[in-house]
Amino acid sequence: MKIGIMGAAGRMGRMLVAAVNAAQGGEVIGGVEAESHPDLGADLGALADIGPLGVVLTSDVEALFQTADVVVDFTVPFVTAQNAGLAQKTNTKMVIGTTGLDDDQQQAIANASKTVAMVQAANYSVGVNVLMGLVEQTARILPEQYDIEVLEMHHHHKIDAPSGTALALGQAAADGRGVNLNDVADKVRDGNVGARRQGDIGFATLRGGDVVGDHTVMFAGPGERVEITHKAASREVFANGAVRAALWAGNQTPGLYSMQDVLGF
Ligand code: NAD
């Protein structure tokens, strides 16, 4: 499978180059960065610290989509949304890891998925996808008296909050309760905000250091508290999951798929 990497010099991009190269059945055929990126022209393998691959970093996104079977995109929301249009134009499948997309950007992905297979997940780790299932089940079983709070911590470079994974966990909890997340989400508390509304799903965001991604969903009930936690120690778990998704996407018909689909949950 010919795999192209968008944002190939980024934190995730470098891990993805290494993960594709290590995977059976996948080949890195190109990597693209923004036009102003200082590493343009560098060997992708050297950037990923795995030795030269003979493939250089370019800014030619059209060529990447024309050559690749699947493009893996962990960049920024507006770029990912533009790329969804290119995926449609060139009939190239995409695996999308970028988080923090707004409604219009999300719509661009939904439109593309009508004609080409797109996989999108806020978190490509197998462990987090297990966590999603546990959260949904727990929210279904426990009554509304159990206050649900989603706590996350990430490194200080992260630009969106709450994290895409925290929002996906909130969605899993809302699904379990049979409510609409938008109606119950409480994402910011500052000042005299009053008592907690029963049924709300609260979010708390911590940023600092080099934390790869910690998520805890709490069910705080009368006299007891259930806490379900996942801690990612390395970005490798996301990269390996995304490569698994890319190899899977290569054989899929048009549609918008999740990591749960890839894992067959
Ligand atoms: P990063 O800033 O290190 O990497 C993003 C890269 O995209 C940068 O190198 C940047 O130069 C590049 N980029 C920007 N504009 C571009 C353009 N026009 N063309 C090509 N490349 C361009 O960030 P990161 O930590 O690698 O995270 C990237 C995204 O992935 C974020 O949205 C993050 O939340 C998300 N993420 C998702 C998962 C998951 O499992 N779904 C895991 C980790 C990170």
Specify whether 71 is located in the same domain as 90: yes
Specify whether 193 is located in the same domain as 257: no
Chain segment 24-33, per-residue pLDDT in tens: 999 999 999 9
pLDDT score of 265: 81
Gap from CA of 226 to ligand 1 centroid (Å): 33
* Residues 214, 78, 234: CA angle, nearest 5 degrees: 25
**pTM for the whole structure:** 0.90
Domain of 8, CATH number, reads: 3.40.50.720
Helix, strand or coil for residue 120? strand
pLDDT score of 118: 98
Under a CB-based contact definition with an 8 Å cutoff, are residues 17 and 28 in contact?
Answer: yes
In this structure, what are the phi and psi dihedrals at residue 126, rounded to the nearest 5 degrees? Answer: -65, -40
**Of 254, 214, 259, 248, nearest to 234 (Cα)?**
214
pLDDT score of 10: 98
Domain of 183, CATH number, reads: 3.30.360.10
Helix 236-249 vs helix 126-141: crossing angle, to nearest 10: 90
**Torsion angle of the four alpha carbons 63, 64, 70, 72, in this order, in degrees rounded to the nearest 10:** -150
User: Is any ligand 1 atom within 6 A of the Cβ of residue 99?
Assistant: yes
Domain that includes residue 59, residue range: 2-120+235-263
Give me the residues of the chain with pLDDT under 70, please.
Answer: none
> Which of 12, 131, 210 to probe ligand 1 with, by most ligand atoms within 8 A of CB?
12
Chain segment 163-205, per-residue pLDDT in tens: 999 999 999 999 999 999 999 999 999 999 999 999 999 999 9
Specify whether 44 is located in the same domain as 152: no
Specify whether 203 is located in the same domain as 256: no
* Residues 181, 195, 178: CA angle, nearest 5 degrees: 25
| C-alpha to C-alpha distances, 136 to 32, 96, 141, 179, nearest whole angstrom | 37, 23, 9, 12
* Structure-token pair, residue 7: 């944002």
Specify whether 45 is located in the same domain as 95: yes
pLDDT score of 256: 98
pLDDT score of 83: 98
Chain segment 110-122, per-residue pLDDT in tens: 999 999 999 999 9
Tell me which residue has its CA closest to atom 17 in ligand 1. 34
Separation of alpha carbons 127 and 189, rounded Å: 29
